[in-house]
Structure 1
Amino acid sequence: MRASRFFISTLKEAPSDAEIASHKLMMRAGMIKRVGSGIYTYMPMGLRVIRKVEAIVREEMNRSGAIELLMPVVQPAELWQETGRWDKMGPELMRVKDRHGRDFAIQPTSEEVITDVVRTDIKSYRQLPINFYHIQTKFRDERRPRFGLMRGREFTMKDAYSFDRDVAGMQQSYQIMYDAYVRIFSRFGLQFRAVAADVGAIGGTGSHEFHVIADTGEDAIVYCPSSDFAANVEAAEALSLTPARAAASEPLTKTATPGKAKCEDVAQYLKLPLAQTVKSIVLTVEKEKGNETWLLLLRGDHDMNEIKVNKIAGLAGGYRFATEAEIVETFGTPPGYLGPIGTKQPVTVVADRTVANMHDFVCGANELDFHLTGVNWGRDLPEPLVADLRNVVEGDPSPDGKGVLAIQRGIEVGHVFQLGTRYSEDMQATFLDEHGKPQPLQMGCYGIGITRILGAAIEQNFDDKGIIWPASLAPFEVVLCPMGYDRSETVKAETDKLYAALQTAGVDVIVDDRGERPGVMFAEWELIGVPHRIVIGERGLKEGNLEYQGRRDAAATPVALDAMVEFVSAKLAA
């Protein structure tokens, strides 16, 4: 490729609405152009990166035995209504009508369509297992699109769907896809981590997320440095920080805490550790015969995990945070002074595992400006229901018992699910087993955010000059920067010769033949992030040398003219 025949549209400054590094740099490097909120045109430079991502994904999916097809962007509402997701998806699902008034969805994913395909064409156990995938445009009507391609409304995703005859087969297909994902992200050249995750709205029985590690990541990833344990913070099990409950050693005392409504303030006022306080969270479950009030108790320095709470029997899928009026009616006091002792109305008390093992703790007295100290289970109040209610924190014991937990930030770019029969039962997708009896298909689904990879890769790889692409994803692997291409016949001839030799060697190379000044040329390619640069100048040619500089290198390295192709090929192979 010659720069004079390519479209390069870099900017000196990022648009004012660009918030994070990847968004700013992609705009400045001319990789994307904003069309509307969360909607972008992929410019030639950015599209080259997308195509490289797609090629790696496609090669590894084919290698795993998955079969490519292409499902439509616009899908009939009837399929979504069969699974109930037409209503459950909420406003993120873009709904449209055709000229006849029929409802359609602009697909955010394709479980319904692929299940419809398979229930029509797969009839026998002899046709299983099978795995279909496609790379297709998706649309999710995000409430607040932001961060460029990281959280846009229109994006490209690879989604795959496996179908098996039984759970063991589904788990085997899941492992094949998990292994394929490890190969894919390794080939991207990105630092990543696979973590156990909650299944979320997709449903199913188990899942893993693949995260690109980046300080700017939206997700907290929990892992154990001394073992293989890793999980999203939403799914990480929090063990009790107190192995066993000690005996009571203090009397129950009602203590004045004027104006101290937060655990931090109460602990400071009473000159006690924050870890000796207990916070109260009030939830309401609406019932036809009257609302139920639930009181969740967590240690004062811990945070509630809504995903975990949503799995508690009696709360699953049907709770909301209580209003202040409901709290006053139930406890007799506004928030800030609540506790499990002496409520005006019955409440269901659930204690986090750590709280259940605490003794002589502090909680609200259900009276304005008062707390109770020296509170003990069994003596002062009944034993509670016990559940894992909290987010883990750094230094917690690892659930596998092999060390303590650490936390790092990550950007979710892939997700694999064991769906089971979540969709096949709703859509009556069955096959005939060896005995001629119909059985529901066991499904798995597997997604990779193709365009999101670009943003995640940049968030992990950039500096004050611009993007630093891994060679496997870069729009070009090598850029040739001739000094005076339009003025020196010697430079032009040697540049063209090297350009042809690199192409013959299979290197994805671009030559900047625009005649730009060196400083401008270097700055532009550093912004774009091409990982390898070769400078051809008359002075070096007289000595038989060219200058090589990697994007992360502090200085250039002289390389013999006749050795450059082999030198660069070795760099790329490494």
Structure 2
Amino acid sequence: MRATQFFLNTLKEAPADAEIVSHQLMMRAGMIKRLAGGVYTYMPIGLRSIRKVENIIREEMNRAGAIELLMPAVQPAELWQESGRWEKYGPELLRLKDRHDRDFVIGPTHEEVITDVVRKEVKSYRQLPLNLYQIQSKFRDEIRPRFGVMRGREFVMKDAYSFDRDQASALKTYDVMYGAYQRIFTRLGLNFRAVAADTGSIGGNRSHEFHVIADTGEDAIAYCPSSDYAANVELAEAICSEQRPAATVPMAAVHTPGNSTCEAVAKQLDLALSRTVKSVVFANETVVDKKKAVQIILALVRGDHEVNDIKLGKLPGVQELRLATEAEIVEAFGTKPGYLGPVGVQNVRVVADRSVAAMADFVCGANEADHHLYGVNWGRDLPEPEVADIRNVVEGDASPDGQGVLAMCRGIEVGHVFYLGKKYSEALKATFLDVDGKPAVMEMGCYGIGVTRILGAAIEQNFDDRGIIWPLSIAPFEVVLCPIGYKKSEQVKLEADTLYDALKAAGVDVMLDDRDERPGVMFADWELIGVPLRVTLGDRGLQNGLVEFQSRDGKIEKRDVAVADILGVVQQALAERRIG
């Protein structure tokens, strides 16, 4: 590709609304142009990277036995009503009516559509297993789109859906897809982790998120540096091996005027924050015999820990969990939040984290304004609690696999593999005739990759003060030729054209900057765009039979290479950087 025949539109400054590095650099490099909030035009330079991501995904999906198709973006409401998600999905689902006043949605995902396809076409176990995927635009009406392609409303996604005759077969398919994802993100040249993730209302334990490790990531990840263990903080188990010591002091009320937080109380009493107990009140909305009821739950964690409401929501008997209102708290405890505790409470379900259950002589609220209790002990001052893992892990906690201690990092979710079971196949009656001739419900899995999000995640992981540093596999171009005085020097033009033709003939994705620009402008543009390798040709060097060669990532420092050798040097550098 020649620059004069391409559509380059770099910017010196990022727009004011570009909040994070990837958004700023994609705008400045001319990869995207904003059309509306969370909606972008992908410009030619950005589309080249998208296509490279898609090609790697497509190759690995095909290798894993998946079959590509393309489903409509516009979906009839009837399917969503049949699955129950028409009411449950919420305002992110963009709904519209056609000229006949029929309801439709712009698809944020395609479980309903693919299940409808399969239930109509698959009748026998002989047609299973089946794994179908697409690469297509989605739309989710984010309440606050931000961070460019990281949290946009319209985005490109690869979504796959597997159908199996039984659970054992479905889990084998899951493992195949897990392996395919490992290969995809490795080939993309990203530093990533596969993280055990929450399965939500579906339950089970087969769900993994794939995270690109980056300081700007929205998700907190707990991992063990000495093993393969990694999990989203929402799921990571908090281990407590401590044994409860014996009580040493009597319980006593302490006046704590205005000190409504564990931190303030610990400071007043000159205690470690870990000696205090934090009380967080939730309401469990249940339906029993078609009657609604609200159960108040008092969740207890150490003062230096945080309650994990997802873990709490999975406890037996919990149906719909939310934070309790102030009115509900006052009715249950007789005081406003800030001085709550488990001593003397009635008609409240008390759940203590494992670390709290191992505490003695602890401090907690007295259920009286401006007062706390000191020296509280289980069994003596209040009944033994219900004990469960209900807190977020923290750095230094024991790893659940017993192989060391946990460390924390931030991650950007770019992929998710999920065992669905029969959630959609039962709702949409996707059945087949099994070996015994009897109808059975298909087992499903779903597997997503945020194609356009990968670009943002890759940049968040690979940049410097000059711009983007692309992994070779997804760079818009592999090599850029920067001839100094291309339109003024016949020798520069001849050597640049000759090298350009040779690289193209060798299958290299090369850009020749034949614009009439100053060297500084050329270099700044290609460093901003992040092309991995650069060859600079100028009269002075060519008089000595030399050109300059360097890499964008700094691993190959600027050096002179003989004109006769440069083709081989470039090919060798590319070969060393290619993965898979």
Smaller-chain TM-score range? Answer: over 0.9
Aligned to 1:66: 66
- What is the letter of the counterpart of residue 526 of structure 2? W
Q: Tell me, what secondary structure is at the counterpart of 2:317?
A: coil
Q: Tell me the CA shift for residue 201 of structure 1.
A: 6.3
CA pair 550-16 structure 1, distance change in 2 beyond 3 A: same
CA pair 539-533 structure 1, distance change in 2 beyond 3 A: same
1:114-513 matched pairs, under 5 angstroms: 114-200=114-200, 205-240=205-240, 242-286=241-285, 288=291, 290-316=293-319, 318-343=320-345, 345-513=346-514
The superposition leaves residues 444-484 of structure 1 with CA deviations (integer Å, 9 ceiling, x where unpaired) of 11000000000000000000000011111011000000010
- What is the letter of the counterpart of residue 175 of structure 1? D
1:18-33 matched pairs, under 5 angstroms: 18-33=18-33
The separation in 1 between residues aligned to 2:202 and 2:105, in whole angstroms, is 16
Q: Tell me the CA shift for residue 203 of structure 1.
A: 6.5
The separation in 1 between residues aligned to 2:128 and 2:329, in whole angstroms, is 55
Q: Tell me the CA shift for residue 292 of structure 1.
A: 2.0
Q: Tell me the CA shift for residue 202 of structure 1.
A: 7.1
Q: Tell me, what secondary structure is at the counterpart of 1:118?
A: helix
Unpaired segments of 5 or more residues in structure 1? none
- What is the letter of the counterpart of residue 94 of structure 2? M
- What is the letter of the counterpart of residue 188 of structure 1? L
- What is the letter of the counterpart of residue 567 of structure 1? V
1:218–1:411: 8 Å Cα contact kept in structure 2?
yes
The separation in 2 between residues aligned to 1:157 and 1:493, in whole angstroms, is 43
Q: Tell me, what secondary structure is at the counterpart of 1:514?
A: coil
Q: Tell me the CA shift for residue 283 of structure 1.
A: 1.1
Q: Tell me the CA shift for residue 315 of structure 1.
A: 2.2
2:134–2:159: 8 Å Cα contact kept in structure 1?
yes
CA pair 232-171 structure 1, distance change in 2 beyond 3 A: same
The separation in 2 between residues aligned to 1:460 and 1:201, in whole angstroms, is 32
Q: Tell me the CA shift for residue 290 of structure 1.
A: 4.8
2:67–2:133: 8 Å Cα contact kept in structure 1?
yes
Q: Tell me, what secondary structure is at the counterpart of 2:473?
A: coil
1:278–1:355: 8 Å Cα contact kept in structure 2?
yes
The separation in 2 between residues aligned to 1:103 and 1:201, in whole angstroms, is 27
Q: Tell me, what secondary structure is at the counterpart of 2:424?
A: coil
- What is the letter of the counterpart of residue 348 of structure 2? V
Q: Tell me, what secondary structure is at the counterpart of 2:447?
A: strand
CA pair 568-201 structure 1, distance change in 2 beyond 3 A: farther
2:281–2:329: 8 Å Cα contact kept in structure 1?
yes
Q: Tell me the CA shift for residue 285 of structure 1.
A: 2.7
The separation in 2 between residues aligned to 1:507 and 1:330, in whole angstroms, is 71
- What is the letter of the counterpart of residue 294 of structure 2? N
1:204–1:420: 8 Å Cα contact kept in structure 2?
no
Q: Tell me the CA shift for residue 286 of structure 1.
A: 3.6
Q: Tell me the CA shift for residue 570 of structure 1.
A: 1.0
Q: Tell me the CA shift for residue 243 of structure 1.
A: 2.2
Q: Tell me the CA shift for residue 35 of structure 1.
A: 0.4
Unpaired segments of 5 or more residues in structure 2? none
The separation in 2 between residues aligned to 1:400 and 1:418, in whole angstroms, is 22
The superposition leaves residues 184-220 of structure 1 with CA deviations (integer Å, 9 ceiling, x where unpaired) of 1011111111010012367665200000111111111
Aligned to 2:567: 565
The superposition leaves residues 254-295 of structure 1 with CA deviations (integer Å, 9 ceiling, x where unpaired) of 111111100001001001110010011111234546532111
- What is the letter of the counterpart of residue 522 of structure 2? M
The separation in 1 between residues aligned to 2:484 and 2:46, in whole angstroms, is 26
The separation in 2 between residues aligned to 1:428 and 1:157, in whole angstroms, is 26
The separation in 1 between residues aligned to 2:469 and 2:202, in whole angstroms, is 34
CA pair 203-481 structure 1, distance change in 2 beyond 3 A: farther
The separation in 1 between residues aligned to 2:194 and 2:542, in whole angstroms, is 48
The superposition leaves residues 150-175 of structure 1 with CA deviations (integer Å, 9 ceiling, x where unpaired) of 00000000000111111111111011
2:344–2:382: 8 Å Cα contact kept in structure 1?
no
- What is the letter of the counterpart of residue 254 of structure 1? A
The superposition leaves residues 14-47 of structure 1 with CA deviations (integer Å, 9 ceiling, x where unpaired) of 0000000000000000000000010000001101
1:11–1:27: 8 Å Cα contact kept in structure 2?
yes
Aligned to 2:526: 525
TM-score by length of 1: 0.98
The separation in 2 between residues aligned to 1:295 and 1:221, in whole angstroms, is 27
The separation in 2 between residues aligned to 1:226 and 1:469, in whole angstroms, is 29
1:205–1:420: 8 Å Cα contact kept in structure 2?
no
- What is the letter of the counterpart of residue 52 of structure 1? K
Q: Tell me the CA shift for residue 330 of structure 1.
A: 1.5
2:191–2:212: 8 Å Cα contact kept in structure 1?
yes
The separation in 1 between residues aligned to 2:41 and 2:313, in whole angstroms, is 39
The separation in 2 between residues aligned to 1:104 and 1:206, in whole angstroms, is 32
The superposition leaves residues 288-347 of structure 1 with CA deviations (integer Å, 9 ceiling, x where unpaired) of 46532111111001111121111112323x12211112212211111110001123x421
2:362–2:377: 8 Å Cα contact kept in structure 1?
yes
1:95–1:104: 8 Å Cα contact kept in structure 2?
yes
Instruction: Give aligned-pair identity as a percent.
Output: 68
2:131–2:160: 8 Å Cα contact kept in structure 1?
yes
- What is the letter of the counterpart of residue 276 of structure 1? R
Q: Tell me, what secondary structure is at the counterpart of 1:548?
A: strand
The superposition leaves residues 427-455 of structure 1 with CA deviations (integer Å, 9 ceiling, x where unpaired) of 11111111101111111110000000000
CA pair 71-326 structure 1, distance change in 2 beyond 3 A: same
Q: Tell me, what secondary structure is at the counterpart of 2:180?
A: helix
The separation in 1 between residues aligned to 2:307 and 2:96, in whole angstroms, is 38
The superposition leaves residues 363-386 of structure 1 with CA deviations (integer Å, 9 ceiling, x where unpaired) of 000111111111111111111111
The separation in 2 between residues aligned to 1:451 and 1:389, in whole angstroms, is 35
- What is the letter of the counterpart of residue 116 of structure 2? D
Q: Tell me the CA shift for residue 562 of structure 1.
A: 1.2
Give the number of aligned pairs.
571
The superposition leaves residues 464-522 of structure 1 with CA deviations (integer Å, 9 ceiling, x where unpaired) of 00001111101100000001000000000000000000001110001000121000100
The separation in 1 between residues aligned to 2:202 and 2:85, in whole angstroms, is 9
The separation in 1 between residues aligned to 2:379 and 2:58, in whole angstroms, is 60
The separation in 2 between residues aligned to 1:201 and 1:21, in whole angstroms, is 35
The separation in 1 between residues aligned to 2:156 and 2:294, in whole angstroms, is 44
- What is the letter of the counterpart of residue 212 of structure 2? V
TM-score by length of 2: 0.97
